[in-house]
Chains A and B, each alone.
Chain A
Amino acid sequence: AQKVTQAQTEISVVEKEDVTLDCVYETRDTTYYLFWYKQPPSGELVFLIRRNSFDEQNEISGRYSWNFQKSTSSFNFTITASQVVDSAVYFCALSGRGAQKLVFGQGTRLTINP
């Protein structure tokens, strides 16, 4: 069975601080995909990134970066120089090969204080 664990329920930091959101996953599949989604107060889930299990390269997109480590089954998300607009609930998710259902973690509520 697939499982995603986001141990951090809530994180609160002051603007401009760096913050890392942790994600640990479990799967028996050799081919799988990992995702991060952002859910702002409006409620819509916004796609941030998708990585496949064969690509362990870290990725950077502006202030966002992702660290994928198969050895520890982790896919962590770092926001550098956080801004108030980054306040949201962030979900890590896992899917198997092909267009399959997403298994979500419980989410981490991130609050950036001015």
Chain B
Amino acid sequence: EAGVAQSPRYKIIEKRQSVAFWCNPISGHATLYWYQQILGQGPKLLIQFQNNGVVDDSQLPKDRFSAERLKGVDSTLKIQPAKLEDSAVYLCASSPLDSEQYFGPGTRLTVT
């Protein structure tokens, strides 16, 4: 079974630029999550989708971050405009209902 796929793996941008990340979850997983992991810290949830509806986006900085999950499958996370403090690894995870989450390899973002 294929795991969670993410792209790109690495991205370097200048502050005030925009960037987008893509995630393809494990087939059949209803729930998709985006986490932000700042260096030296544990991951922090940004947004959770169930099918194509948002369940929790309470910690998403909505003035600059946006996310969508088209047709309840793939998802994109966008940052516009980026700030220096957005430098982090962005992790996508998916799970069946009421089960453990499986994580992708992450996208390492560096904002200069």
A residues lining the B interface (CB < 8 Å): 4, 35, 37, 42-47, 50, 91, 93, 98-102, 104-107
Contacts and interface: CB of A to CB of B under 8 A. Distances in A.
B87 interface: no
Ranked 6 nearest A-B pairs via Cβ: A104-B42, A45-B103, A101-B45, A99-B31, A44-B105, A50-B100
Interface of B: 30-31, 33, 35, 40-45, 48, 50, 56, 89, 91, 93, 95-106, 108
B100 A45 contact: no
A44 B50 CA distance: 22
Contacts of B50: 99
Contacts of A100: 48, 56
B44 A104 contact: yes
A11 B102 CA distance: 26
